[in-house]
Amino acid sequence: MKKHIFVLFAFIIIGILSVSDIIGQDKNERIGNDELIKTGMNYYNYADKDKVNFEVSVWGYVKSPGKYLIPVGTSFVDLISLCGGPLIEAKLEEIRIVRMKNDTLDVKEEKIINLNYHDYLWEEKISNTKRQNPVLYPGDIVLIPGGPKFTFRENISLVLTGISTLTSIIVLLVTILRK
């Protein structure tokens, strides 16, 4: 009987430890209990427990747009890498960082920082122009605009579709007018 109780007790202890490993949270994890509420489909936590962390928003044509919790000192390129990089439709020559007024950070007025990374993906050579890679501030909004990019093949396809439609209409009108 004692052996059965001991085995049962051992299973209960092992079960509790296994469940706490699956659903529990280690003290060394980056996210705290208060932050669990914020995690969601578009909330990404890249916080460093040894640094001050803040939130920025990424909108537009990146693989994973949303709100990011990042450590102080994170640069624009670092954040875009955390986002999974720009999509093929991204207009990298029109990137904007909207920096909101923040008296505690000595940002006296709202400003827009314009960036151009077009040559990184679309040119044969990277230009020698000095490129900005600003360090992000709390509350920054990174905007990566975009839209469909039409290649030569897609342009030809659109033109041929238009020509074939016009030809069909002309043939239809000629057929109707002959009768």
* Contact residues for 127 (Cβ-Cβ < 8 A; gap 6+): 119
Of the two residues 79 and 12, the one the predictor is more confident about is 79
Residues 33 and 15: their CA atoms lie apart, in Å, by 23
Q: Average pLDDT in the 138-167 region?
A: 87
CATH of 30-148, one of 3.40.50.300, 3.10.560.10, 3.30.390.30, 3.75.10.20: 3.10.560.10
Confidence class for position 1, pLDDT limits 50, 70, 90? low
pTM (two decimals)? 0.61
Confidence class for position 68, pLDDT limits 50, 70, 90? very high
User: Chain-wide mean pLDDT for the chain?
Assistant: 79
Task: Return the domain boundaries, the chain.
Answer: 30-148, 151-179
pLDDT of residue 63: 93
CB 109 within 8 A of CB 101: yes
Task: Quick: pLDDT tens for 19-53.
Answer: 444 444 444 445 554 554 455 678 888 888 889 99
Determine which helix (DSSP H) or strand (DSSP E) holds 140, and give its type and residue range: none
CB 120 within 8 A of CB 106: no
Determine which helix (DSSP H) or strand (DSSP E) holds 122, and give its type and residue range: helix 118-122
* Alpha-carbon torsion, ordered 50, 51, 57, 61, to 10 deg: -70
